[in-house]
Structure 1
Amino acid sequence: MVERVSWMSPIDYEILHFFEQYRDIQASPKVIGANIDYDRNYTGKRCRNFADHDLLERAGDGLYQLSERGEKFLDGELPASELEPDETDV
C-alpha cells in the first residue's frame, strides 16, 4: 500500500493499484476506468493529473504508462512528502 498524499482522491489509489498489478502496461483512461469501475472521463482527468506530477507518462494515442518516478513511489522508494506541493505552490 502506498503512502497517503493530500491531493490524491480515492480513484487515484485505484489507478495506482491498477498500475501496480500491471507494471508494464500502456492503457487508456477507458481501459483503466473499466478495470477500476470509474467513469473514463474522470479517470482521464486523474491520469492527466498523475502525468503532471510525473507518476504516469503519456505513451501516445491517449495511452498512459507508469513512469520511473511512479514505480519508485509504488515501491516505497519515493516518500509521499516528495509529492506534496511546496508552500509556494499553494
Structure 2
Amino acid sequence: MRKRAEWMKDADEKILDILEGGLMLGPTTIAKNLDLSRSYVSRRLSILIAYGFVEQIEEGYYQITDRGEMWLQGEVDASELNPTED
C-alpha cells in the first residue's frame, strides 16, 4: 500500500503513475493526459522534485526517480520525508 503524506494530492499519485513507464514528459503533456491545468501540474512537479520523487532531466522534461518508483511500490513512507533545499 502506498503511504501518502499530508502534503500529497491525488494528482501527485497520478503524475507519478504516468511517469512510471520511464517516459520523460513535460507538464503540458502530463496535464493533457490527466485533464489538469498545466500550471497545476507544474506546481505539483516542483513539490515532487523537492521530495525527491521526480527529477528534471532538461528544461521542460521530467522523469520519475528511484524514490518515486519505490513509493509507487509501497516501499517508501512519504510522511517521513523532508523537502530538499536547492
TM over 0.5, yes or no? Answer: yes
Once the two structures are TM-superposed, the CA of residue 26 in structure 1 deviates from its matched residue by 0.3
Alignment of 1:10-89 (within 5 A): 10-20=10-20, 23-83=21-81
Q: Percent identity?
A: 36
| Structure with the larger helix share | 1
Which portions of structure 1, spanning 4 or more consecutive aligned residues, are displaced by more than 6 angstroms?
A: none
How many residues align? The count is: 83
* Relative contact order higher in (CA < 8 Å, ≥ 6 apart): 2
Aligned partner of 2:14: which letter? E
In structure 1, runs of 5+ residues without a counterpart are 86-90
Which structure has the bigger radius of gyration? 1
**TM-score for both structures, normalised by structure 2:** 0.83
Once the two structures are TM-superposed, the CA of residue 37 in structure 1 deviates from its matched residue by 0.5
Q: Considering only aligned residues, what root-mean-square deviation do their CA atoms show, in Å?
A: 1.7
In structure 2, runs of 5+ residues without a counterpart are none
> SS of the residue aligned with 1:43?
helix
